[in-house]
Amino acid sequence: MTQDRPALSQQVTFLYAEDTEASWRFYEEVMGLALVQDQGSCRIYEAAPGSRAFLGICRARAPRASDNPRVVGGVVFTFVTDAVDAWYEKLKENGVAIPNAPASSEQYRVYHFFFHDPAGYTLEIQRFDRPDWPSPAG
Protein backbone atom coordinates (compact mmCIF):
# COMPACT_ATOMS: atom_id res chain seq x y z
CA MET A 1 0.00 0.00 0.00
CA THR A 2 1.54 3.31 -1.04
CA GLN A 3 0.64 6.61 0.46
CA ASP A 4 0.74 10.01 -1.13
CA ARG A 5 2.89 11.78 1.45
CA PRO A 6 6.39 13.19 1.84
CA ALA A 7 9.03 10.53 2.55
CA LEU A 8 10.18 9.72 6.08
CA SER A 9 13.73 8.42 6.35
CA GLN A 10 14.47 7.85 10.05
CA GLN A 11 12.84 7.42 13.46
CA VAL A 12 13.99 8.64 16.90
CA THR A 13 12.29 7.80 20.19
CA PHE A 14 13.31 10.10 23.05
CA LEU A 15 13.20 8.95 26.68
CA TYR A 16 13.85 11.29 29.61
CA ALA A 17 15.83 10.40 32.74
CA GLU A 18 16.56 12.23 35.99
CA ASP A 19 19.88 10.36 36.36
CA THR A 20 21.19 10.55 32.80
CA GLU A 21 24.63 9.15 33.73
CA ALA A 22 23.06 5.88 34.96
CA SER A 23 20.84 5.66 31.88
CA TRP A 24 23.68 6.44 29.49
CA ARG A 25 25.85 3.73 31.13
CA PHE A 26 22.95 1.26 30.86
CA TYR A 27 22.36 1.84 27.15
CA GLU A 28 26.09 2.00 26.30
CA GLU A 29 27.51 -0.72 28.56
CA VAL A 30 24.65 -3.14 29.29
CA MET A 31 22.64 -2.85 26.07
CA GLY A 32 25.75 -2.14 23.96
CA LEU A 33 24.08 0.48 21.75
CA ALA A 34 26.35 2.58 19.54
CA LEU A 35 26.45 6.27 20.46
CA VAL A 36 25.60 8.29 17.35
CA GLN A 37 25.58 11.79 18.83
CA ASP A 38 26.31 13.39 22.22
CA GLN A 39 24.41 16.66 22.54
CA GLY A 40 25.47 17.30 26.14
CA SER A 41 22.14 16.84 27.93
CA CYS A 42 20.96 14.24 25.42
CA ARG A 43 22.68 11.25 23.80
CA ILE A 44 21.32 9.51 20.72
CA TYR A 45 22.01 5.81 20.08
CA GLU A 46 21.50 3.54 17.08
CA ALA A 47 18.67 1.20 18.17
CA ALA A 48 19.75 -1.61 15.82
CA PRO A 49 22.91 -1.77 13.68
CA GLY A 50 22.23 -0.61 10.14
CA SER A 51 18.69 0.50 10.98
CA ARG A 52 17.12 3.87 10.60
CA ALA A 53 15.78 3.76 14.18
CA PHE A 54 17.39 5.68 17.02
CA LEU A 55 16.91 6.05 20.77
CA GLY A 56 17.60 9.37 22.50
CA ILE A 57 18.19 9.51 26.27
CA CYS A 58 17.83 13.07 27.53
CA ARG A 59 17.96 14.88 30.87
CA ALA A 60 14.45 15.14 32.34
CA ARG A 61 13.12 18.55 33.30
CA ALA A 62 10.85 17.06 35.98
CA PRO A 63 10.23 13.71 37.72
CA ARG A 64 8.10 11.09 35.95
CA ALA A 65 4.41 11.46 36.69
CA SER A 66 3.70 7.70 36.60
CA ASP A 67 5.47 4.35 36.36
CA ASN A 68 2.57 2.88 34.38
CA PRO A 69 3.58 2.75 30.68
CA ARG A 70 -0.05 2.47 29.62
CA VAL A 71 -1.16 5.88 30.89
CA VAL A 72 -1.33 8.81 28.48
CA GLY A 73 2.24 9.65 27.55
CA GLY A 74 3.55 6.23 28.62
CA VAL A 75 6.19 4.40 26.60
CA VAL A 76 7.26 0.82 25.92
CA PHE A 77 10.39 0.67 23.78
CA THR A 78 10.75 -2.70 22.01
CA PHE A 79 13.97 -4.13 20.59
CA VAL A 80 13.21 -6.75 17.92
CA THR A 81 15.58 -9.73 17.60
CA ASP A 82 15.67 -13.46 16.99
CA ALA A 83 18.05 -13.76 19.98
CA VAL A 84 15.48 -13.25 22.76
CA ASP A 85 16.95 -15.93 25.05
CA ALA A 86 20.51 -14.66 24.54
CA TRP A 87 19.41 -11.13 25.48
CA TYR A 88 17.63 -12.49 28.56
CA GLU A 89 20.85 -14.21 29.70
CA LYS A 90 23.03 -11.16 28.92
CA LEU A 91 20.79 -8.81 30.88
CA LYS A 92 20.52 -11.19 33.86
CA GLU A 93 24.34 -11.54 33.88
CA ASN A 94 24.55 -7.73 34.05
CA GLY A 95 22.27 -7.60 37.08
CA VAL A 96 19.15 -6.34 35.33
CA ALA A 97 16.01 -7.28 37.27
CA ILE A 98 13.67 -9.15 34.92
CA PRO A 99 10.35 -10.11 36.51
CA ASN A 100 9.47 -12.92 34.08
CA ALA A 101 11.47 -15.20 31.78
CA PRO A 102 10.83 -15.00 28.02
CA ALA A 103 7.44 -16.39 27.06
CA SER A 104 5.20 -16.74 24.03
CA SER A 105 2.10 -14.63 23.61
CA GLU A 106 -0.42 -16.52 21.50
CA GLN A 107 -2.57 -13.39 21.23
CA TYR A 108 0.16 -11.31 19.59
CA ARG A 109 2.23 -14.22 18.22
CA VAL A 110 5.47 -12.98 19.75
CA TYR A 111 8.13 -14.41 22.05
CA HIS A 112 9.27 -11.73 24.52
CA PHE A 113 10.05 -10.38 27.98
CA PHE A 114 9.89 -7.00 29.71
CA PHE A 115 12.29 -5.15 32.03
CA HIS A 116 13.04 -1.56 33.11
CA ASP A 117 15.90 0.82 32.43
CA PRO A 118 17.43 2.93 35.25
CA ALA A 119 14.89 5.73 34.62
CA GLY A 120 11.98 3.28 35.04
CA TYR A 121 10.97 2.99 31.38
CA THR A 122 9.52 -0.33 30.28
CA LEU A 123 11.69 -2.07 27.68
CA GLU A 124 10.85 -5.23 25.77
CA ILE A 125 12.96 -7.72 23.87
CA GLN A 126 10.76 -9.43 21.30
CA ARG A 127 10.71 -11.82 18.34
CA PHE A 128 7.74 -11.83 15.99
CA ASP A 129 6.46 -15.36 15.36
CA ARG A 130 4.22 -14.44 12.47
CA PRO A 131 4.86 -14.49 8.72
CA ASP A 132 3.19 -11.11 8.13
CA TRP A 133 5.85 -9.16 10.05
CA PRO A 134 8.28 -7.39 7.65
CA SER A 135 11.85 -8.69 7.76
CA PRO A 136 14.64 -6.22 8.72
CA ALA A 137 15.78 -6.19 5.09
CA GLY A 138 12.39 -4.85 4.08
106 vs 128: CA distance, rounded Å: 11
Looking at the 3D structure of the chain, how many domains does it have? Answer: 1
Instruction: List b or e across 65-93, with b for residues whose CB sees 16 or more CB atoms inside 10 angstroms.
Output: eeeebeeeeeeeeebbeeebeebbeebee
Residue 2 lies in a domain: no
Q: Please give the share of the chain, as a percent, with pLDDT higher than 70.
A: 86
Domain hosting residue 59, numbered range: 11-128
- Taking residue 116's Cβ as centre, other Cβ atoms within 10 Å add up to 16
What are the strands, taking DSSP E only, across the chain? 11-17, 34-38, 42-46, 53-59, 76-80, 103-105, 110-116, 122-128
- pLDDT grade for 130, boundaries at 50, 70 and 90: confident
Residue 90 lies in a domain: yes
Return the pLDDT at 72: 54
Contacts 24+ apart (CB under 8 A), 62-69: 63/18, 64/16, 64/18, 64/119, 64/120, 67/120, 69/121, 69/122
In this predicted model, which residue has the larger pLDDT, 65 or 29?
A: 29
Check which CATH number belongs to the domain holding 28 and give it.
3.10.180.10
Residue 46 lies in a domain: yes
62 vs 77: CA distance, rounded Å: 20
63 vs 57: CA distance, rounded Å: 15
pTM here?
0.79
Residue 134 lies in a domain: no
- CB-based contact 43:86 (threshold 8 Å): no
Structure confidence by residue, pLDDT tens digits, 35-73: 999 989 999 999 988 888 999 999 887 776 676 665 655
Report CA-CA distances (Å) from 72 to 76, 117, 123: 12, 19, 17
